């Protein structure tokens, strides 16, 4: 299958379209959102030149399952998943912060720690830790959502003082973040995985806080295999992981970290296939289900786009 990296639908009632790094989001009557999860892939806040076949389907289906699995904790934006690559949901007013929660010292937090820092987003980190070690308690390290470019680390105090989020709403978001992460960690443990860190986005609708966007996908989360975790930690070895971090590591090894003047290394067909395989691997591990490719593998791009358009149009008609 060819990767779907661009869409240009005109749905009934459509009043706007937002193109994100990975998602094309269509505004329907200012009331609903149609989120098409494309096969685009980004790293270091840069959209990479090649799409990854089936990536959109993987992300959308994992997110859909976890939205359902956490809907008793708080309401979420999802109404339906009419197509493997699409979620239709409520339009909410988003908070301009992302709630990042970290159970382990990995990724960005480890890079800061290795550079000598012992606080991140105003949250202290204990001395004497090693890469991928579990924190005594998960820490919340929010970022401000940038319209363009890199999201920035920001503290709870800065968020409240600047008026980005009111104190009451922020404290509710913190509590929800811990509860959703706890649920995600429990589900991951049942599958022999560790949910290392993840991020959530929240918004408001009719005065109520809603969970938005995707959750617990390899784009928004980092997973380790539980089997062998302690042994690898004791030996100072890399953890066997399922997340987008392997893409970042491949880019860094080839001299790219999103800085001005740096070139994205060539994404050969072999590299693209290997990334698809890793996304499918995570899907099957985290859901415990076989990944089912929708339609024929020889299905062309035009027929996939038609399928999406037909499925979404039928779904929107049912919401009238």
Question: Are 76 and 90 contacting, i.e. CB atoms less than 8 angstroms apart?
Answer: no
Q: Are residues 202 and 74 in the same domain?
A: no
Q: Which of 224, 245, 266 is the last residue of a domain?
A: 245
Is residue 263, in this structure, part of any structural domain at all? no
- For the segment 74-83, the average pLDDT, to the nearest whole number, is 98
Q: Which of 221, 245, 269 is the last residue of a domain?
A: 245
Please say if the pLDDT value at position 296 is more than 50.
no
**How far apart (Å, rounded) are the C-alpha atoms in residues 191 and 225?**
9
| CATH code for the domain of 48 | 3.30.200.20
* DSSP state at residue 287: H
Is residue 9, in this structure, part of any structural domain at all? no
Q: Are residues 64 and 112 in the same domain?
A: no
- pLDDT for residue 148: 56
| CATH code for the domain of 229 | 3.30.470.20
Q: Are residues 241 and 102 in the same domain?
A: yes
Q: Are residues 184 and 64 in the same domain?
A: no
| Mean pLDDT lowest among 26-35, 148-157, 181-190 | 148-157
Is residue 252, in this structure, part of any structural domain at all? no
The string of DSSP codes covering 82-118 is EETTEEEEE--EE-SEEEEEEEES-HHHHHHHHTT--
Q: Are residues 49 and 149 in the same domain?
A: no
- For the segment 7-36, the average pLDDT, to the nearest whole number, is 96
- For the segment 2-17, what is each residue's pLDDT rounded down to a tens digit? 899 999 999 999 999 9
| Structural element, H or E, at residue 144 | strand 143-144
Q: Are residues 43 and 101 in the same domain?
A: no
Q: Are residues 133 and 210 in the same domain?
A: yes
Please say if the pLDDT value at position 69 is more than 50.
yes
Q: Are residues 77 and 98 in the same domain?
A: no
Please say if the pLDDT value at position 101 is more than 60.
yes
Please say if the pLDDT value at position 57 is more than 60.
yes
Q: Are residues 291 and 211 in the same domain?
A: no
Give the whole-number percent of the chain exceeding pLDDT 70.
97
Is residue 6, in this structure, part of any structural domain at all? no
Question: Are 286 and 190 contacting, i.e. CB atoms less than 8 angstroms apart?
Answer: no
- pLDDT for residue 278: 87
- For the segment 137-156, what is each residue's pLDDT rounded down to a tens digit? 999 999 997 655 567 899 99
| Mean pLDDT lowest among 86-95, 110-119, 240-249 | 240-249
Is residue 261, in this structure, part of any structural domain at all? no
Is residue 82, in this structure, part of any structural domain at all? yes
Expressed as residue numbers, the domain containing 21 is 14-92+277-319
Task: Tell me what the pLDDT averaged over the chain comes to.
Answer: 93
Both tokens of residue 92? 């909410």
**How far apart (Å, rounded) are the C-alpha atoms in residues 59 and 123?**
30
Q: Are residues 154 and 287 in the same domain?
A: no
Q: Are residues 288 and 191 in the same domain?
A: no
Number of domains in the chain: 2
């Amino acid at each position: 299958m060819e990767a779907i990296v661009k869409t240009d639908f005109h749905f009934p009632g459509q009043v706007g379209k937002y193109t994100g790094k990975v998602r094309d989001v269509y505004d329907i009557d200012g009331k609903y959102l149609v989120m098409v999860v494309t096969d685009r892939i980004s790293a270091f806040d840069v959209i990479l030149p090649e799409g990854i076949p089936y990536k959109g389907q993987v992300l959308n289906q994992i997110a859909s399952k976890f939205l359902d699995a956490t809907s008793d904790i708080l309401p979420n934006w999802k109404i339906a998943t009419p197509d493997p690559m699409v979620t239709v949901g409520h339009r909410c007013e988003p908070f301009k912060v992302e709630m990042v929660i970290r159970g382990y010292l990995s990724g960005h937090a480890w890079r800061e720690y290795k550079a000598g820092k012992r606080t991140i987003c105003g949250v202290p980190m204990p001395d004497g830790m090693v890469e991928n070690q579990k924190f005594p308690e998960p820490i919340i390290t929010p970022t401000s959502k940038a319209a363009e470019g890199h999201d920035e680390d920001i503290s709870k105090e800065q968020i409240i003082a600047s008026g980005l989020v009111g104190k009451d709403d922020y404290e509710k978001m913190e509590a929800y973040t811990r509860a959703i992460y706890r649920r995600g960690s429990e589900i991951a443990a049942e599958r022999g995985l560790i949910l290392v860190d993840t991020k959530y986005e929240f918004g408001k609708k009719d005065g109520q806080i809603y969970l938005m966007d995707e959750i617990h996908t390899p784009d928004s989360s980092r997973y380790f295999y539980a089997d062998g975790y302690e042994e690898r930690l004791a030996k100072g070895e890399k953890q066997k992981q399922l997340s987008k971090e392997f893409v970042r590591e491949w880019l860094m090894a080839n001299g790219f970290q999103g800085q001005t003047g740096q070139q994205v290394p060539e994404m050969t067909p072999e590299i693209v296939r290997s990334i698809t395989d890793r996304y499918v691997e995570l899907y099957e591990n985290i859901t415990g289900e076989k990944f089912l490719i929708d339609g024929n593998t020889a299905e062309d791009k035009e027929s996939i786009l038609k399928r999406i358009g037909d499925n979404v149009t039928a779904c929107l008609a049912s919401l009238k």
